[in-house]
Amino acid sequence: MISYVLTICFLFVAGIFLNRCRLLTKSGTVAIVFVGSAVSFGLGTVWLVIITALFFVALVATRLHASRTGGFKPQSCRDAIDLLPVGSAVSIAALQADASAGRLVALAAMAFALSDILASELGPLTSRGAFLVPSFRRVPHGAPGAVSLTGLGFSAVGSVLPSAVTLVWAGAALAAIVFVSGLAGSVVDTLLSAAWRGKFRRRNDVINGCAVGVSVSLVLLLYRFLRVRGLHGL
């Protein structure tokens, strides 16, 4: 009981620090406390550290983008709604009865998040232009559905990080499905951004929710496939 209280206190302090750094709003701070508490309760302290480290990588990418482009934009400071698609997937996964499936879902959700964030935050810093899929028409960075070659590279790196955790924990087969699921979500995110012409305030969060759903569904489907054939390492 004392360890959970200390964990919640740590999450609050970390959230307040990120709020002072203008990376989280107050609602975002509350959101990470809830997500972190769910991970700690369902998966344990070690997995809380792992998920926190992956989340920290995403925040570093956001911070680097802001510092290289002349300061923070409003969207750089993430609120609870911004964190809802991935945060809810990680929280629900952490509380599943099948701990192995829960860990895979959490890692697949983080694989999508890192793939998306690293591509969108770091890609524009190292590439002069972008193009639309599937027309390949040249467009400025930031256009809905735009991608660049360096952005694709960072997207792959983002999916590799949770896959590396899976490799150490459960072997190559499950690492591969986490990697594929993260990239699949990123592809869906890009295609929906390009094809969905409707404009509304939380459009990007709805698209992220759809993309996370694809990543989570795919990793569960592939995990079930491997279990039936006895090919996973657990």
pLDDT above 90: residue 111? yes
Do 33 and 15 touch, CB atoms closer than 8 A?
yes
Q: Spell out the domain ranges in the chain.
A: 2-229
Residue type, 15: G
Under the banding of pLDDT at 50, 70 and 90, the label for residue 12 is confident
What is the per-residue pLDDT across 26-35, written as a single tens digit (0 to 9) for each?
A: 999 999 999 9
Using the CB atoms, write b or e for 32-63: b if 16+ within 10 Å.
bbbbbbbbbebbeeebbebbbebbebbbebbb
Q: Residue 232: pLDDT band by 50, 70, 90 thresholds?
A: low
Give every CB contact of residue 229 below 8 A, 6+ residues apart in sequence. none
- The per-residue pLDDT for range 139-179, each reduced to its tens digit, is 666 666 677 778 888 899 999 999 999 999 989 999 999 99
134 cis-preceded (ω within 30 degrees of 0):
yes
The reported pLDDT for the residue numbered 141 is 64
pLDDT computed for residue 70 by the predictor: 60
Provide the pLDDT for residue 160: 96
Instruction: Identify the residue with better confidence: 146 or 121.
Output: 121
Distance from the Cα of residue 61 to its chain's centroid: 12
Residue 24's pLDDT is 87
Question: Average pLDDT of 111-129?
Answer: 83
pLDDT > 70 in the chain, percent: 84
Cβ-contact 214, 122 below 8 angstroms: no
In this prediction, residue 196 carries a pLDDT of 74
Residue 130 zone, left/alpha/beta (φ > 0; ψ -120 to 50; rest):
beta
